[in-house]
């Protein structure tokens, strides 16, 4: 097919579309964005630079899928836990046949026949691999190489593209075009063991924590987190997975992050001795790699695998390694765009007939760097997974209410829409309403970890499941607090939290420590996987999309979480939001009490919550 496309490239410079063909129709701008703040346009993109162009067709029945999702995720609904099959979900997101036909005709008019396309199982995405020169002709646009001033990352993007006017109702989005997301990992500073920031010291061997296992946590956990510490703190000591033949857990890896097996063995020998000889499956997506040389060991990949899998042994576990990472190097002889790794993972996991019941991701970006049309399509993919019974957790970000890129002089954060307005900067995918967003705590007793990302989406409206919790929080704010800096009617996040600092891990054969919400997400996902294990062992369905259940528990069953009160998540020249009793946009409802949650999800959830 590649040879075919290069032939097409040669011919398009000579050929003229036949009068009246789809390619000859009048074009109209489909999407346009302001030149992104913090990026510099350097030069025209090479004509032979290859991009994987993804065309999203409308999903006319998505509202029906969403209704199914909320009903089967609502503990008070009679359909709770009755998840949809892969085929049922695909039928609900399938585009109209007319949309498929018209898009196919448009592509064929540019010399790209139907059999040269790659389609998602539901046919709602069409992917073509073409040179920039052809994309520019098809969408009447110009691509350039843009360089991110702070990081040096480079992308081949445009700020506007057009489609034939008759296609506008049949195409939701085309990317990569106007998306300037860098998709970075969420992680605070890594340091060698012994060089950690000072923790609160105590002379007692144990710290009294009433909600913990046996009401106490080893004092060493205050400066050195291990799986045992987390099990003690979150009341999970003694639980042994019983559905290892059915329950599955996964973490995702991007940007060349390698999960080192020797480090995994060292970690288990030190902290999970019963799992010393265990391993995990590796799934390679889009030419993903997992280099096992010690100097290639990835801090993020090791953190995710060591903790998510260390908490859940012997549950079957998978590390997804997805290829593609910025920066693009514009001087390559045969340049290939590889800046959209997340789309490749979504394509793979949606095609999997039996995905893991729990998946953790510790990567994301600022919501404003992702065009709203694309963010909503990606978010809709998470809804598909939730409807099939998959629980998705995402780290909430490590920059409080900001983006880590505030103005050095004023410390203020600015919008990326050309207006340069002073605003808080929400995170994505953490602010998608169909995922569970995990903030961070530190120290024992637990406190707010000030980096914990949280706030309110500018793209997604507040879902019904969190109306009560968020209204209650907002009613406590002094009138006018941060007026104009955030969207009070937007989807609020995070939903929950977990420990996020002083995590002991092995990297390249050396023990070190790390923190961040990237530690909190695999921790929370590990405990969710254990809850799924308990349900599956009883013949019950997995939990699937968690948020309606979490907010129901938070409203009437406070013992399900350890509420974190006091502290805030500063950013953008402000103190950020404060952590209060109940839900807040810093730590959500707080950290999990596994023992109490297990008893709840193994019983009649709706009956217990109604007591």
pLDDT at 101 over 50: yes
Same domain, 250 and 120: no
Same domain, 299 and 169: no
pLDDT digits (tens, 9 = 90+) for 392-448: 999 999 999 998 777 777 889 999 888 889 999 999 999 999 999 999 999 999 999
Same domain, 150 and 200: no
Task: Please indicate, yes or no, if residue 186 is contained in any of the structural domains.
Answer: no
pLDDT at 571 over 50: yes
Same domain, 203 and 158: no
Higher pLDDT, 486 or 185: 486
304, 340, 398, 533: the catalytic one is 304
Task: Please indicate, yes or no, if residue 87 is contained in any of the structural domains.
Answer: no
pLDDT at 335 over 60: no
Last residue of a domain, one of 180, 215, 244: 180
Mean pLDDT, residues 350-360:
97
Same domain, 253 and 289: yes
Task: Please indicate, yes or no, if residue 69 is contained in any of the structural domains.
Answer: no
Among residues of the chain, what percentage have pLDDT more than 90? 79
Coil, strand, or helix at residue 376? helix
Task: Please indicate, yes or no, if residue 65 is contained in any of the structural domains.
Answer: no
172, 300, 367, 495: the catalytic one is 300
Model pLDDT, residue 1: 39
Higher pLDDT, 194 or 451: 451
How much is the pTM? 0.93
Same domain, 430 and 469: yes
CA–CA dist 475, 586 (Å, integer): 16
Same domain, 113 and 228: no
pLDDT at 330 over 90: no
Last residue of a domain, one of 157, 180, 203: 180
Say if CB 404 and CB 398 are below 8 A apart.
yes
Same domain, 119 and 247: no
Model pLDDT, residue 182: 77
- CA-nearest of 429, 449, 427, 390 to 567 is 449
Task: Please indicate, yes or no, if residue 73 is contained in any of the structural domains.
Answer: no
**pLDDT band at 4, cuts 50/70/90?**
very low
Structure tokens at 432: 């998608």
Task: Please indicate, yes or no, if residue 469 is contained in any of the structural domains.
Answer: yes
Model pLDDT, residue 340: 65
Domain with 522, as residue range(s), is 191-610
pLDDT digits (tens, 9 = 90+) for 81-95: 999 999 999 999 999
Same domain, 548 and 605: yes
Quick one: which H or E segment has residue 529?
helix 517-537
Tell me how many domains the chain contains: 2
**pLDDT band at 188, cuts 50/70/90?**
low
Read off the CATH number of the domain in which 230 is found: 3.40.50.200
Is residue 610 part of the annotated active site? The answer reads: no
CA–CA dist 540, 362 (Å, integer): 28
From the number of C-beta atoms within 10 Å of its C-beta (0-12, 13-18, 19+), residue 131 rates as buried
Backbone angles phi, psi at 284, to 5 degrees: -100, 120
CA–CA dist 176, 31 (Å, integer): 12
* Helix, strand, coil % in the chain, rounded to nearest 5: 35, 20, 45
Cβ of 165: how many Cβ atoms within 10 Å?
13
Beta-bridged to residue 364, according to DSSP, are 184
CA–CA dist 377, 368 (Å, integer): 15
Same domain, 214 and 161: no
pLDDT digits (tens, 9 = 90+) for 212-241: 999 999 999 999 999 999 999 999 999 999
Is residue 366 part of the annotated active site? The answer reads: no
Cβ of 224: how many Cβ atoms within 10 Å?
16
The annotated binding site for Ca(2+) is made up of: 563-564, 582, 584
Same domain, 235 and 383: yes
Model pLDDT, residue 184: 75
The annotated binding site is made up of: 563-564, 582, 584
Last residue of a domain, one of 153, 180, 207: 180
CA–CA dist 441, 406 (Å, integer): 23
Task: Please indicate, yes or no, if residue 81 is contained in any of the structural domains.
Answer: no
| Helix/strand/coil (H/E/C) assignment for every residue in 51-74 | EEEEEECCCCCHHHHHHHHHHHHC
Mean pLDDT, residues 193-222:
80
Average pLDDT along the chain = 90
CA–centroid distance for 9 within its chain:
36
Same domain, 168 and 32: yes
Task: Please indicate, yes or no, if residue 386 is contained in any of the structural domains.
Answer: yes
Model pLDDT, residue 403: 84
Residue with token string 């919501």: 367
| 528 Cβ contact partners less than 8 Å away, ≥ 6 residues apart | 358, 391, 393, 543, 546
CA–CA dist 393, 524 (Å, integer): 8
Residue with token string 């340091």: 191
Is residue 304 part of the annotated active site? The answer reads: yes
Among residues of the chain, what percentage have pLDDT more than 70? 90
């Amino acid at each position: 097919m590649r040879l075919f496309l290069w032939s097409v490239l040669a011919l398009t410079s000579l050929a003229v579309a036949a009068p009246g063909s789809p390619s000859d129709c009048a074009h109209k701008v489909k999407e346009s964005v302001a030149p992104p703040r913090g990026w510099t346009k350097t030069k025209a993109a090479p004509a032979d630079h290859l991009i994987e162009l993804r065309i999203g067709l409308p999903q006319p029945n998505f509202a029906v899928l969403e209704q199914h999702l909320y009903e089967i995720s609502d503990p008070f609904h009679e359909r709770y836990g009755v998840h949809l099959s892969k085929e049922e979900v695909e039928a609900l997101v399938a585009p109209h046949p007319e949309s498929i036909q018209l898009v196919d005709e448009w592509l064929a008019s540019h010399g790209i026949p139907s059999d040269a396309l790659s389609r998602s199982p539901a046919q709602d995405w069409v992917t073509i691999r073409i040179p920039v020169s052809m994309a520019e002709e098809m969408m009447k646009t110009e691509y350039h190489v843009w360089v991110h001033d702070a990081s040096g990352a480079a992308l081949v993007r445009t700020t506007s593209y057009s489609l034939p006017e008759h296609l506008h109702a049949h195409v939701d989005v085309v990317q990569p075009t106007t998306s300037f997301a860098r998709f970075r990992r969420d992680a605070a500073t890594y340091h060698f063991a012994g060089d950690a920031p000072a923790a609160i010291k105590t002379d007692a061997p144990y710290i009294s924590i009433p909600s913990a296992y046996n009401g106490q946590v080893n004092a060493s956990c205050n400066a050195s987190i291990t799986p045992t510490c987390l099990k003690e703190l979150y009341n999970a000591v003694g639980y042994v997975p019983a559905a290892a033949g059915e329950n599955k857990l996964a973490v995702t890896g991007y940007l060349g992050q390698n999960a080192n097996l020797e480090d995994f063995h060292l970690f288990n020998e030190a902290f999970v001795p019963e799992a010393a000889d265990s391993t995990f499956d590796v799934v390679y997506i889009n030419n993903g790699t997992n280099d096992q040389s010690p100097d290639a060991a990835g801090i993020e990949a090791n953190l995710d695998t060591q903790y998510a899998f260390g908490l859940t042994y012997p549950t079957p576990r998978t590390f997804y390694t997805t290829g593609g990472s910025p920066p693009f190097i514009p001087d390559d002889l045969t340049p290939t765009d590889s800046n959209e790794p997340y789309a490749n993972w979504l394509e793979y996991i949606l095609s999997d007939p039996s995905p893991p019941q729990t998946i953790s991701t510790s990567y994301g970006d600022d919501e404003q760097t992702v065009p709203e049309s694309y963010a909503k399509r990606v978010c809709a993919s998470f809804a598909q997974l939730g409807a099939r019974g998959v629980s998705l957790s995402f780290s909430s970000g490590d920059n409080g209410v900001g983006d880590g890129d505030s103005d050095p002089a004023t410390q203020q954060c600015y919008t990326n829409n050309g207006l340069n307005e002073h605003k808080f900067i929400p995170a994505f995918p953490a602010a998608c309403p169909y995922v569970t967003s995990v903030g961070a705590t530190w120290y024992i007793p637990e406190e707010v970890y000030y980096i914990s990302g949280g706030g309110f989406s500018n793209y997604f409206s507040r879902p019904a499941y969190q109306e009560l919790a968020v209204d209650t929080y907002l009613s406590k704010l002094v009138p006018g607090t941060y007026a104009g800096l955030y969207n009070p009617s937007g989807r609020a996040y995070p939903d929950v939290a977990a420990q996020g600092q002083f995590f002991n891990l092995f990297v390249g054969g050396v023990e070190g420590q790390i923190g961040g919400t990237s530690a909190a997400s695999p921790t929370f996902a590990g405990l969710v996987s254990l809850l799924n294990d308990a349900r599956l062992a009883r013949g019950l369905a997995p939990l699937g999309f968690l948020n309606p259940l979490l907010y129901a528990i938070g409203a009437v069953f406070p013992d399900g979480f350890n509420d974190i009160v006091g502290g805030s998540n500063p950013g953008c020249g402000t103190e950020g939001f404060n952590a209060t009793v109940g839900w807040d946009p810093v730590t959500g409802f707080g950290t999990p009490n596994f023992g109490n949650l297990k008893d709840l999800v193994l019983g009649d959830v709706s009956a217990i919550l109604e007591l």
